Structure 1
Amino acid sequence: MFTIAIHGGSGTINRSEITAEQEKAFRQGLEDALEAGYKELARGHSALDAVEQAVRSLEDNELFNAGRGAVFSARGKHEMDASIMCGRSQKAGAIAGVTNIQNPVSLARAVMEQSENVFLLGSGAEDFARELRLPFEPDAYFYTDFRFRQLKEAQKANKTQLDHSKSNTGKGTVGAVALDKDGNLAAATSTGGLTNKKYGRVGDTPVIGAGTYASNQTCAVSCTGYGEYFIRAVVAYDISCLMGYKGLSLKAACEYVVQEKLKTMGGEGGLIAVDRAGNVVLPFNSEGMYRAWRNEAGEGEVSIFA
């Protein structure tokens, strides 16, 4: 039974700090992305197609911190990261620190399918995108007053910050996981990273095994939260290992990693995961996570708060 799940970031998300109009807009953004991926699966297309299209939809929505909605770095640029992984072949593609790429997740897929590499960085990744004639957009496409205010607030406080701090309504990393009719799993993740990030900082999103992982033998995982902790805990791969080596269920593996391992380290965030039987788990240890899922039977939900 085919299944898809998506997320639009986790963190401090309180009902009292989001207007009804904002909540409606975020829910619609999640619905649109879920539908984009679900349609691919319903047509018999691959899990890879589904996660790419779902993430592209979120990248095109300025409400989410990826693609068009990416936050500003300390340089006043939009430095974006993305990755994608195929559970059947175990192939993966990732890019980090790219600017002006319309859909970073599609560039990550191109790295996986049209190069001999897994991970491309910055200007080199952009050169590869130009060779493939992938679409670029000018700086103005990525600019919003809201994101610019976030940058100025962070610079005034001399800090980097998650997009989902209490003063902000736009959310962080986006991602999708899917199981298709052929039993293949896939995962994809995309982000603009931290507001006011410096020194070419890269989080977990493009790191295979940390922010993204997929194996047909176990599960597909896409993470969201404070990336440094997810890298140190190798979160996405750890969940797969707990299932493969210790025989834990998807739910048990996810709950252990998110609610115990990450918490012990001081890490905040969450993830979405689907196993080869189509079970979906969406755990988080923050106050909320923008999330949605749907399966072939029509079961599912769209949720924001804890």
Structure 2
Amino acid sequence: MAHLSGTDRSQLLLLPEAVDDYVGPDNPVRFIEAFVDGLDLGSAGFVRVQPKATGRPGYDPADLLKLYIYGYLNRIRSSRRLEAETHRNVEVIWLLRHLKPDFKTIADFRRDNRAAFKTVFREFVVLCRQLDLFGRELVAVDGTRIKAVNNKTRNFTRPSLAKAIQDADERLAGYMKRLDEGDADEDRTPGGGSGNGDGKLAEKIAAIQGKRDRHKEMLAELDRTGADQISLTDPDARAMARMTKVGVGYNIQLAVDVKHKLIAEQAVSNQVLDLGLLAQTATAAMEALGVERI
């Protein structure tokens, strides 16, 4: 008995022919389009809402926002993966009307409009209130840690900088001692010259001194700002404990209404401890939900 065989690709037709027919009336992408089209993106703070009179046409921020919301709902966060979806995903093709922005355009849009996304979140909460999707009686508030792009080796605290400077001083003292011993041996050996070892030691000394100077500059920056940590890749990230491990990242606070498990309020902080953050998030959630007690 033969296996099931597919249709010849050269003769395969897609029916129905209209992309709109592949997106049902209850498909979430239709809500995404209606929601974004109802926003005033200029007032929300999005850049390039009004196109320039000259130059090459750019992408409408509304279309890129629709793509990001779709990615959020479907757990697609990578700009490169979002770009791939614009080429193969029927829902995204329908949502963007066959537009195919590249990953850099998508990433730049998120970077340039970071503050405006919070306004969009607020508008969504208002819409949910109007649709009576919040119970507004009970919320659950909790915090979690998310990892930043900053590696632990590029995060420094005052103690770690002080220890690094001390270690550099000790290594420099050891190298200088070896150079002094080498000079003494040359004095005792007539006609003796400096060997290759002295040159390598000088290179090591220069490298350690450069690293030590950078550490001292970072320590001075902490003294100037009053901060307790400094991160080189992601300046706002902080080292914080998560379970038994310590990573560099952020502290996320969420307040969720229990009726339909919708997020009523969120906050991102680089504060290591949750002290005070839970109460602040609960208070902000009450303001967002329009209640004085919850």
- Higher RCO (CA-CA < 8 Å; seq separation 6+): 1
TM over 0.5: no
**TM-score by structure 1 length?**
0.25
Higher share in helix: 2
**TM-score by structure 2 length?**
0.25
